[in-house]
Structure 1
Amino acid sequence: MQLITSLFKLFFGNIPSINKSEDIESFKASSSAALIKLPSKEQLITCLEGFPIRDSVILDIDLDENEPVTFYKNQDIQSFYDQVQTFIDIKDDNSIFTLKLTINKNCMNNKISVYCLESLKEYIHGLSLHGLLYTVNKLVSKNNYIYLLIQDNGTSFEMATQSIILTSEEAGHTQLTESINREKLISNRNSISNFINSSEYNLIPNDFYLIKRSADQDINELFDKICFIISTAFIADISKIHGDNQFYYRYNGYKTIENEIDYKVDTLNNSVVLFNIFSWIYNEGNLSDKIGLSRNMITLHHKVNDNETNLKDNTLNSILSGYEIYLKENVEQYIDIKNKISEFLIDMSQKSSELVRAMTDSIKNNNLLFLSFFLSIVVFNSLSENKFKDIFTKDITYISYGILFISMIYLIISIVITNIEIKRFQQQFFQMKELYNDILDEEDLKNIFKEDILNNDIKYIERKTVWWSIFWLFEIVLIFLTVVILSKFP
């Protein structure tokens, strides 16, 4: 107020009193006296330069019922002085001069001036619930955070939430904590709660939770009460603001709790506990699980007596304990699920080895067939008269060609069956992954069902299949050439 008082003293000297009022958008002051004097232009300019450049300063001087003379900051002073001098010249003994000061506040660099803290507090306390929320919403929705700077060197005051700081310029500015993701918080609220007035207020509990409490208990209690209301809007199943001061909410938990608060009358206790519950719910983890557990516990710890609403101090501890038990049960289920998946994946790897082993067994069987056939020919001929001469007769040669043809068909079928098994192998992997899609989150699915492992197993099968197929084919060709040569050149 020193700046304001200095301005009035320039015109009235020792002034009797100054009537003042202030809100977020403007400051108004007036005083009346029988005599007025014109300060020097330099004095007036120096005084006006003390006002922040972001604000518009308007002076009105009137005499009795005459039309007032108006002066705007940065206007020509001489013209203003000439008109005031006319008033001085025509005044009589019963005349009264009235000086009115109007300051239109403008927000610049997220800063708004406060000229009289007591007047602003009176204005804030006089607002209805709807009016206060509307005013704050207009501030923070445009700027996300705001500094209310007290323009009084004689005042040392500081109070801060995460988006609103009320402080004297002398005290400096409290550094805001990390910026708030307002849109995300509101979007999450809309997904789990039904706040009927969501389209009207872009507010969050952080706007009212005091991270630095002031020395003024009335201001602290006001912010605590609004913090309780907005936190409830983010936690309760249904809530709404209606009329000027009524707030209704309902919790559906172990019990159903319905309550209606009168902002001007009711006492709301433990807003800090409720804010901490809100912070825990909306911080990390599964939002649906947390909100369900919190509502259950709040309905057990919520008490309403006459015009007083209480939430027990240990409510958050009960919620955290319940959540630990819930997580433990979930972890056991999670470990069980992972073990089952691990067993499945191990079986998959074993199947890849079995597919390669099947191909190897096919070659062994094929070799056994060749060995049995050709050994029988050798043994049969060794027991005959000619012994080893003319082993590959025409009939045996044709039979050998037939066996080699069957072996070739067997090779092709083995390759086809192996490819079919590879595709089935892949299908089983992705089908199992799809089954757990609703149970595990996307990152878990990626970490557990690693497609790189699947691809490595498939490459292993394909590589072994190619090697054994080449060996098999080489064997067929070699035996075929041997039969041809021995049958042509006995």
Structure 2
Amino acid sequence: MRYHNFFNSIGTPDKIEIFEEDFNEFTIEYSYQTILLPTEETIKNILAEVKNSDICSVYLSIDQGEPVIIKDDNNFSSSFNDLNNLLSSHEEGEKINVKINIYKTSTNNQFHFYSKDCFFSYIKSFDSLSLANFFSSSVFNHTTKIYILIEDFVGILNSSRFFIAVQYQAEEEDYDYREKRNSNIISNNHSSFFGKLKVLPEDFIFEGNGEMDLSTLKRFQRLGKILLISSIFDITDLTKENFYYKLNGYKSISESIEVNNINTENLDDFYNIYLWIYNSGNILDKIGLARNLISLHLKKGSSLELEGDVFESLKSSYKIYEKQNVKQYIEVRNKMSDQILDYGKRVASFTDNFANGFQKSALSLVTFFSSLIVTRILATPKNNSDFIMYSTLITLVFIGITLVYMVISRFELTEQEGRFKKSYEDFKKRYTDLLTQEDIARILNNDEEHNSDLLYIKKKKKWYTTLWVVVLVLILISTIVYYIYGNSNTTLRESLIPTPKFI
């Protein structure tokens, strides 16, 4: 926005009264002893240069008098006439104030700034804790990147959270990891402030060729280092003036330092250690080893500076540590594999019990029903109709009992399936102290065997239940046919037998 050209075109400014900007508003005001009457075209040009969604107003006043306000609206001509009247009443010695005010709107986490100097000044107006709280506030959408577009900015600066440039450029965003990383940091450190924030250390570590005021860059870097220390050390606390930290390693260190005295020159050392701890592997082992080595290499009485290449020493030490623990790792892996085999045997055991229950029940029922048929064919009961009725009732009772037994067996199998699932989840949780989630998933083949066992149980339950129901339905139909056919034959036979004459 060429606001300087506008102010210079109407006269020589006496002094600047206001020059400030934040994420919501931009204001610049100059005072003059005398000015030239701006043309309508000049005013319209300055109004037209603002973003489409922003609202720009030009204020002109004499001393503390009521200002004339010119906006890009239907009253433009009328306001311009009021300006002519105002300036015609100006007397020598009276101060003329000219102010441009812009109310800004933002969309899609894109924030527009009209002056890089104002942006730098605004960032420097925060202390480190306030700056972290501000970028964690509801002003921003915390699920996407924040784009800060500054009209007179040179180059591009980019971090995990921020993109600073003149124009918007879509950036590839990966925000899936942030919630998990924040949780890991909070669970492995004791910080009075980190849990309240929605920012991470990497948000304030920039890459690119953007030209940022050095003191502003230091403000970002200092906050980044504070967050890095809070992610690695045991205990941290941050106030407006001081940063307290406690480190328990080979040496125990507890100090408080003024925030402005924190050195940012070896920021990369802490950043590399931070990424190495939280990117992959066993965080607990890595952070413990890092604390031990940092406690030996932290300069005494320094502004959180390290001596030597701690990161390289850390990687070498971890390789030795891993070799010492390979045997234990293999033992744990083999033990988990053995337990998985035991789970497979358990599945086979209770599905076999369910199948055996069906086989015994179905065989008993079929045997009983067959014996009735044989008895009906070979025997000649005195009262054939009574025999058919009672045998049918007994068969129906057997069918009912078998049906109840099937329901109970299914219920027991479902209960065993639920206990099997819970037992498996508890089994995995027991190893989280020794192995990472990634290691556990790799050893267990991402639960492939477990899911296969569950599928096997479901198939067995479905197949045997279906078979069980089919057998019961067939025997029920056979019983009904047996009853109807038996009674009809008895009635027919009685009707064919001649009645004795004496009767």
Q: TM-score, normalised by structure 1?
A: 0.65
Q: Pairwise mapping of residues 13-92 of structure 1 onto structure 2 (< 5 A)?
A: 13-15=11-13, 18-19=16-17, 20-74=19-73, 76-92=75-91
Indicate yes or no: 2:330 matched with 1:335. Answer: yes
Tell me the secondary structure at the aligned position of residue 182 of structure 2. Answer: helix
Q: Hey, what does 2:257 align to over in structure 1?
A: 261
Distance apart, 1:108 and its partner CA: 2.1
Distance apart, 1:18 and its partner CA: 4.0
Distance apart, 1:345 and its partner CA: 9.4
Compared CA separation, residues 74 and 285, structure 1 to 2 (3 A): farther
Gaps of 5+ in 1: 350-426, 460-490
Q: Hey, what does 1:316 align to over in structure 2?
A: 311
Match of 1:239 among 236, 239, 244: 236
Q: Pairwise mapping of residues 86-105 of structure 1 onto structure 2 (< 5 A)?
A: 86-105=85-104
Tell me the secondary structure at the aligned position of residue 124 of structure 1. Answer: helix
Q: How far apart in 2 are the matches of 1:267 and 1:445?
A: 44
Q: Pairwise mapping of residues 130-279 of structure 1 onto structure 2 (< 5 A)?
A: 130-138=129-137, 140=140, 142=142, 144-152=144-152, 155-169=153-167, 173=169, 175=171, 178-179=174-175, 181-212=177-208, 214-216=210-212, 217-242=214-239, 244-279=240-275
- Whichever residue aligns with residue 228 of structure 1, its letter is K
Q: What do residues 157-190 of structure 1 show as CA deviations (whole Å, max 9, x unaligned)?
A: 4322221222224xx6484553463322221112
Distance apart, 1:213 and its partner CA: 5.4
Tell me the secondary structure at the aligned position of residue 310 of structure 1. Answer: coil
Tell me the secondary structure at the aligned position of residue 165 of structure 1. Answer: strand
- Whichever residue aligns with residue 162 of structure 1, its letter is S
Distance apart, 1:99 and its partner CA: 0.5
Conserved 8 A contact 1:38-1:81: no
Compared CA separation, residues 214 and 42, structure 1 to 2 (3 A): closer
Distance apart, 1:117 and its partner CA: 1.6
Distance apart, 1:196 and its partner CA: 0.8
Compared CA separation, residues 177 and 97, structure 1 to 2 (3 A): same
- Whichever residue aligns with residue 328 of structure 2, its letter is Q
Tell me the secondary structure at the aligned position of residue 207 of structure 2. Answer: coil
Q: What do residues 436-480 of structure 1 show as CA deviations (whole Å, max 9, x unaligned)?
A: 953566435634995779x9xxx9xxxxxxxxxxxxxxxxxxxxx
Conserved 8 A contact 2:246-2:253: yes
Conserved 8 A contact 2:159-2:205: yes
Match of 1:325 among 320, 323, 345: 320
Q: What do residues 127-185 of structure 1 show as CA deviations (whole Å, max 9, x unaligned)?
A: 32233223333355546422221223xx524322221222224xx64845534633222
Compared CA separation, residues 24 and 337, structure 1 to 2 (3 A): closer
Compared CA separation, residues 55 and 245, structure 1 to 2 (3 A): farther
Indicate yes or no: 2:269 matched with 1:283. Answer: no
Tell me the secondary structure at the aligned position of residue 66 of structure 2. Answer: coil
Q: How far apart in 2 are the matches of 1:346 and 1:109?
A: 52
Q: How far apart in 1 are the matches of 2:202 and 2:110?
A: 19
- Greater shift in the superposed pair: 69-78 or 56-65: 69-78
Q: How far apart in 2 are the matches of 1:449 and 1:13?
A: 79
Gaps of 5+ in 2: 345-419, 461-503
Runs of 4+ in 1 over 6 A off after TM superposition: 340-349
Compared CA separation, residues 346 and 279, structure 1 to 2 (3 A): closer
Q: How far apart in 2 are the matches of 1:56 and 1:42?
A: 18
Compared CA separation, residues 157 and 312, structure 1 to 2 (3 A): same
Conserved 8 A contact 2:155-2:208: no
Tell me the secondary structure at the aligned position of residue 60 of structure 2. Answer: strand
Compared CA separation, residues 251 and 174, structure 1 to 2 (3 A): farther
- RMSD of Structure 2 on Structure 1 (CA): 3.7
Conserved 8 A contact 2:11-2:32: no
Conserved 8 A contact 2:248-2:292: yes
Tell me the secondary structure at the aligned position of residue 267 of structure 1. Answer: coil
Conserved 8 A contact 2:204-2:223: yes
Q: How far apart in 1 are the matches of 2:134 and 2:339?
A: 60
Q: Hey, what does 2:380 align to over in structure 1?
A: none
Conserved 8 A contact 2:129-2:238: yes
Distance apart, 1:205 and its partner CA: 0.6
Q: How far apart in 2 are the matches of 1:40 and 1:325?
A: 77
Distance apart, 1:98 and its partner CA: 0.6
Tell me the secondary structure at the aligned position of residue 317 of structure 2. Answer: helix
Q: TM-score, normalised by structure 2?
A: 0.64
Q: What do residues 60-88 of structure 1 show as CA deviations (whole Å, max 9, x unaligned)?
A: 21112211222344462123213222212
Distance apart, 1:272 and its partner CA: 1.3
Distance apart, 1:229 and its partner CA: 0.4
- Whichever residue aligns with residue 286 of structure 1, its letter is N
Indicate yes or no: 2:280 matched with 1:299. Answer: no
Q: Count matched residues.
A: 371
Q: Pairwise mapping of residues 384-403 of structure 1 onto structure 2 (< 5 A)?
A: none
Tell me the secondary structure at the aligned position of residue 30 of structure 1. Answer: strand
- Whichever residue aligns with residue 118 of structure 1, its letter is D
